[in-house]
Amino acid sequence: MSSTKKKKKDLTPLMRQYHDIKEEHEGAILLFRVGDFYETFANDAELVSEELGITLTKRNNGSDQTPLAGFPYHALDTYLPKLVKKGHRVAVCEQVENPSDAKKAGRKIVSREVTEITTPGVTMSEKLLEHKRNNYAAAVYWEGKTAGVAFSDVSTGEFALSQITRRQLSDLLQSVTPSELLLPQNLKNNVPEELLDYNLTFIEDWVYEGEYGYNLLTDHFETHSLKGFGVEKQEIAHTAAGALMHYLQETQKASLGHIKRLQSFENKEYMALDGSTKRNLELTTTIQEGQSEGTLISILDDTATAMGGRLLRKWIMRPLKRMRPIRERLNAVEALHVNHDVREQLRKELGQVGDLERLISRICVGRANARDLEKLKRSLAQVPRIKMQFNQLEEPLLNDILDRLKLLVEVQERIGKAIVEDPPASVRDGGIFEDGFNEELDELRDIARNGKNYISEIKDELAAETGINSLKIGYNKVYGYYIEVTNTHTEKVPDHFIRKQTLVNSERYITPELKEVEEKILSSEERSKTLEYELFEELRLYVADFAEEVQQIAQALAELDCLQSFAEVAYRNNYCKPAIADDQVIDITKGRHPVVEKTLPPGDPFIPNDIHLENEDEQILIITGPNMAGKSIILRQTGLIVLLAQIGCFVPAEQAHIGLVDKIFTRVGASDNLAAGESTFLVEMNEAANILNNATRNSLILLDEVGRGTSTFDGLSIAWSLAEYLHNQPSVAAKTLFATHYHELNELENMYDHIVNYNVSVKEHDDKVIFLRKLVRGGADHSYGIQVADMAGLPSIVIERAKEILGNLESHSLDVTDRNGTLEEGARKKKEAVKKAAREMEKQEQITQPSLFQTQIDPNLEMLIDKLEASDPNRMTPIESLMLVSELKKLVEKRK
């Protein structure tokens, strides 16, 4: 006998049952129903005790003491969400029979089964779901350079797949943002780095083998193939989708009939947004705190329904690339924008609509109660009122939405006749149905309410029938209800009376009819509850048959809600309708940052700016100016305006012409990835490499301070070369905004036809800098770094010394070239100027600043002088001259 079998033999029957069920659900916390409690044992108990802060006790388990932790069954909705939010999978094991039935059958313990497994990505619990955010579980599988991805929100019935290149996997997952990611078991110890941040669950390898996944999909959708969904040839994606469907079936333990369609998620339909761009533009979360406040979605989301809020998030993360659907959205928004009264009434009507997607999902999987059916009825009742609000607006997209809004009158009437106006939350305690809905239920209710009166009526009927006026009906626990007749009248007793007991002065009888009435009276309340539950299940299944129609209504209402939200935001914030064209021009007049303008204090208006980009003229804008002048805001607002236009929304500008872009790239800010061993500069270069390797002529690139993460020489060289590459390589000659502190890059305007200089202007007053936040033509030659440092509160002695050093440097010509001479002559003069300035700085330090600097020669400065002396002006290129200047600046920064 094995040790495992021997150990199980020593366990109590209850614990043997627990271990058998636990073995089937390894990796999940098992909540084991015992009477009025959910109990956990052993390792689960220790984990639950720690995570929930509940008491850990011990249970006598035959030969040993087992750790035990539990909570009352009615607290499940409190504790289950806490465990799942911490990333745990939780299996709920219920008693599936009445203890009395188990006893009658001679079993020592009741039957138990896992009825639901809740995971971070698979749940129907309202306490775990955010109303305006999808909760996706996703599965990934790849072979070679091809990857398959499937994702589903079981709470709404959405199920989609996509077959892409392995390189595109990370970007697609960032668009979906799954709460749980499924991978094959064989990757458990070799998970790719880009997937490590997800909540991972590993599925048995056999699920990914052969035709299992394909057959699982065709079985679920009841089709012979997947041709009807347009995904027949996506074999790698089939495997991922099959693994996901397997997981959903294993966890839900219920019908997934609300998953009606297999959608093909085509990335080619949408603008490509990589992770850096989504983060830097702060579309749904802020860079610093990861909050939704202060993001684009916080400005755009004025939706009135949960479905609309979820769809809006998808639209923001997946801008369109084709002109026709963009224009259709914009025209629909315009119609709602100008018809203010219609929009206001429409918003009120939409506000009365419940979450149809999740309502019908709960109904289909058997997790709904009567209140859900009542909410569904009330929501469907809003549809004709909503249609009345905009059926006079002649716009193709609105007309399409109008056609998809079916009334489903029969469903409303069926629920309305059945369910009381304010039903209870439980479906097993009765009180759900209207009087008159079911004859048998009415009778049982009547008996339960009027049992004594009913018996009295039977007594009177029997007395009249037999002529025995003294006939009585009594009750005891042995015989139940009985008829008592005195000996004087026994000869009048009918033949169908059955004698049960003889007393001194009377006889007691029963009749089949009386026993039937007795059973009804004694069990009427329980039978009434049981019958109501059966009737509710019948009604639920009837409504579930309309799941696809309800989902179509929900999708149409969600689209309408997004469009009215765009119109409302445009109306409140003075946005304009952009002109969309299939050309290479972006022309924005008085553009604004949609988020920043809303966060400024009163009396501090946002300063709008114009932007003009086109591939054949002003392709690359080199934008210089001091810190805090607003360069980054101009870059971000340009990206956001283009994105807003291509999701079909009005834009914060006086006027805008947007030539369609296929991708938006950003390289903004400084960050690192120390966990992966990546410095700030390496992260910066990774992002730059991604841009150069994936941009096209139709892209928009936003670059902020490229090269600042390394030495001045290296950084300036990279920035210069990168700008040249974007200008000279036709395949990646994208429209580009390039913000920089390298004023030397202004020279590029003189060298290349499609590079233009701009700067964010400032004014100096009393040695203070005043930011005008206005983008103007021409390059800046001063960064005002010392003034900004002063504003930051650096000690005055440091500020004054910095001014002295800067004065020494600026007293000599440090131009890259001599405008009046040759390039070689300019380089020679530069070398002499730098050497002279450096020596004068050293002399000044020795005389005037003994308290701040060492009196001996600075070794770094000496190295620079040696390098200058070793250089040959006749052989130096302009970029080498720039590198020398930058290294001197780096030295100055070190000495601050």
Residue with tokens 């801008």: 319
With vertex at residue 532, the alpha carbon angle to CA 526 and CA 538, rounded to the nearest 5 degrees, is 140
Dihedral of the alpha carbons of 70, 76, 77, 80, in degrees to the nearest 10:
60
Please indicate if the annotation marks 627 as binding a ligand: yes
Determine the Cα–Cα distance for residues 653 and 374; give it in Å rounded to an integer. 45
Alpha carbon distance 176, 167 (integer Å): 16
Distance CA 325, CA 645 (A): 12
> Which helix H or strand E contains 37, and what residues bound it?
strand 37-41
Consecutive H or E run containing 272: strand 272-273
Q: What distance in Å separates the CA atoms of residue 11 and residue 1, rounded to the nearest whole number? A: 15
Answer yes or no: is 15 a known binding residue.
no
CB neighbours of 105 closer than 8 A, spacing ≥ 6?
A: none
Phi then psi for 280, rounded to 5 degrees?
-70, -35
DSSP state of 89: -
Residue keyed to tokens 């005008």: 772
% helix, strand, coil for the chain, step of 5: 50, 20, 30
Residue type present at position 361: S
Residue 626 in marked binding region: yes
Kindly write down the DSSP assignment for every residue of 719-741, as one continuous string. Answer: HHHHHHHHHH-GGG--EEEEE-S
Distance CA 67, CA 326 (A): 61
**CA–CA distance, 567 with 555 (Å, rounded to integer):** 19
- Quote the tokens at residue 31: 């909540």
Q: Is 184 annotated as a binding residue?
A: no
Task: Give yes or no for a contact between 297 and 527, defined as CB atoms under 8 angstroms apart.
Answer: no
Q: Residue 359 corresponds to which amino acid?
A: L
Do 779 and 795 contact (CB within 8 A), yes or no? no
Tell me if 487 sits within 8 A of 506, measured CB to CB.
yes
374 Cβ partners below 8 Å, 6+ apart? Answer: 415, 419, 421, 423
Instruction: Report the C-alpha gap between 662 and 659 in whole angstroms.
Output: 10
Q: How far is the CA of 654 from the CAs of 470, 579, 690, 785, in angstroms? A: 98, 12, 33, 33
**What per-residue string of b and e applies to 373-396 under the rule 16 or more CB within 10 Å gives b?**
bbbbbebbbbbeebbebbeebebe
Cβ-based neighbour number of residue 314 at 10 Å = 16
Q: Is 873 labeled as ligand-binding?
A: no
Q: Is 715 annotated as a binding residue?
A: no
Q: Is 631 part of any known ligand binding site?
A: yes
Query: Where do runs of H (alpha helix) occur along 752-795?
Result: 785-792
* Side chain identity at residue 453, one-letter code: N
Binding positions are 625-632
Binding positions for ATP are 625-632
